Structure 1
């Protein structure tokens, strides 16, 4: 696949994978992207997952008509992108490997005994490499989402090779909505490092970017304002969609009934979007994504062993780990003799920033009472302000 006259896609699609990074469900597989830049000197941008070494090397061979590349540029050392560095150097022993100091340090740990010798080209932040007419500038992007990450800007074709930034789940031979799977990918994998992603976006604002080539997901050429705008919202923990997410866990159905009652009350009051999520059955990464997407979140759960129901704790810990902030929140708690869920939830969020709790807390003793129904109505009123 040609991206520009000189840039060719040489990545692969993985439809055998069921869990990305051992935890994220990927029903439409994954793409491991790699690119070739053809010029007086030829560069390969990153490798692919270990399971696709021969296919990837074959793609490079086809793209270059059997010629040997001059450089392998390593932007990110995560094994789904770096696993074939040694195999590349074996096939192309004259090629030089370009990376930063932290990447080379990691490389020595992943590839014990590999000695690059004078084939090692260590670059610094904002340093450039000329391929001929193509001038590449390396921009360090630490913790987006590993410390060694850098992105590469080709000022000739105005392409940003963005490493894991702007990536998404899904293979390239399957059509699906970018926003949904890019959002799930961002908040699952990059979300903790919002400040670092913002720093990268500030650098990107100063570049004339016409194409974004990420290490996962499609090549982005049109409507770049939308993709960059989404990343600005996500990295700043901004609200993407006005609405309320109600995340619940329920043992015997009483807490679920309360959550559904609140959802109905919100819809009756004209809430623009209401999302009801059963945390025991929903993909947890999808639930986390929805929590960051919407401006308001209600947590409804039972008291469980003096704590909260396990799926709710897992959900909250995932939010906190990713810096959940700048939201309005409410609590529906349930217990049959000693209700502690609300206290536990507030304690978990104690160090989180810019959270506004609604005045009404719904406290249910086993099953909903008339008082609880009135509390739910009051909570809905607050959330709809």
Structure 2
């Protein structure tokens, strides 16, 4: 899916049935944030809504889908970092709907409360690990503890087989693209220091570096990947980095993540932490 730079700055991008990327690109950051909007019938859900400074960009894209903000009935926060939750007060104000609820995890809700105490906060486990739209479309929630926070989880849309992966599968990107662009040789690559296709920018390196620094340990990442591999995934909508848009690329990235020797505390104890 090719999207030009000007469109990315101003327009939402439909990535699957009813699912829109409403994020923002900043070439000066090297870390790109990806809020997602799911519209189903007369309802909508916003996942990892973004930080305070980028609220106007995100909301403009939401409005350009034709949605009325009050139709957003759920805000899903897959952990509590400010790049996800910073715009919560602005969202509450413009949505202005007494039926609005936040879905997260009890460990996250303690901290999300400090962004705003206004909206009632639900623990996804109290919802039997799912949320159903009025049409029956279902979002399922799966815990990925310590990837990178105790209450981290991922969200799976059963209708489009889209996984909203939060920080998992994220990346540090000097040359960001909305859709991940892997070459045919990436699946066979075993030495990330030397690209088999001789490309100047290896997308795998940014993903590996991100997980080594952001995730807490090899055990935590392995547990999360074991959970994710049980799902039938068509695409992964990451909160940072690029969207992984094919089953083949999902498998390739999982293989590279499983091959990382030292992650988080393991990296530190090995004397490699920078």
Q: TM-score, normalised by structure 1?
A: 0.55
Query: Is the partner of 2:244 in helix, strand or coil?
Result: coil
For residues 320 and 43 of structure 1, the distance between their equivalents in structure 2, rounded to whole angstroms, comes to 37
Answering whether residue 59 of structure 2 is matched by residue 35 of structure 1, we say: no
For residues 268 and 155 of structure 2, the distance between their equivalents in structure 1, rounded to whole angstroms, comes to 26
Displacement of 1:13 in angstroms is 1.3
Q: Counterpart in 1 of 2:23?
A: 11
Displacement of 1:186 in angstroms is 1.2
Checking the alignment, whether the CA contact within 8 Å between 2:75 and 2:101 is kept in structure 1 is yes
Q: CA distance change for structure 1 residues 322 and 139 in 2, over 3 Å: closer, same or farther?
A: farther
Alignment of 1:235-314 (within 5 A): 237=261
Answering whether residue 206 of structure 2 is matched by residue 181 of structure 1, we say: yes
Answering whether residue 233 of structure 2 is matched by residue 209 of structure 1, we say: yes
Query: Is the partner of 1:38 in helix, strand or coil?
Result: strand
Choose from 252, 262, 265 the match for 1:226: 252
Query: Is the partner of 2:25 in helix, strand or coil?
Result: strand
Provide Cα deviations, 1:88-133, integer angstroms capped at 9, x if missing partner. Answer: 111112122211211110112344xx322xx433321861101224
Q: CA RMSD in A?
A: 2.4
Checking the alignment, whether the CA contact within 8 Å between 2:161 and 2:232 is kept in structure 1 is yes
Displacement of 1:173 in angstroms is 6.1
Choose from 54, 57, 68 the match for 2:56: 54
Q: CA distance change for structure 1 residues 34 and 189 in 2, over 3 Å: closer, same or farther?
A: same
Checking the alignment, whether the CA contact within 8 Å between 1:36 and 1:60 is kept in structure 2 is yes
Checking the alignment, whether the CA contact within 8 Å between 1:39 and 1:133 is kept in structure 2 is no
Checking the alignment, whether the CA contact within 8 Å between 2:217 and 2:266 is kept in structure 1 is no
Q: Counterpart in 2 of 1:306?
A: none
Query: Is the partner of 2:84 in helix, strand or coil?
Result: helix
Query: Is the partner of 1:139 in helix, strand or coil?
Result: strand
Q: CA distance change for structure 1 residues 173 and 137 in 2, over 3 Å: closer, same or farther?
A: closer
* Structure 2, gaps ≥5 residues long: 1-12, 182-200
Checking the alignment, whether the CA contact within 8 Å between 1:31 and 1:172 is kept in structure 2 is no
Larger gyration radius, structure 1 or structure 2 = 1
Q: TM-score, normalised by structure 2?
A: 0.76
In terms of fraction of residues, the more helix-rich structure is 1
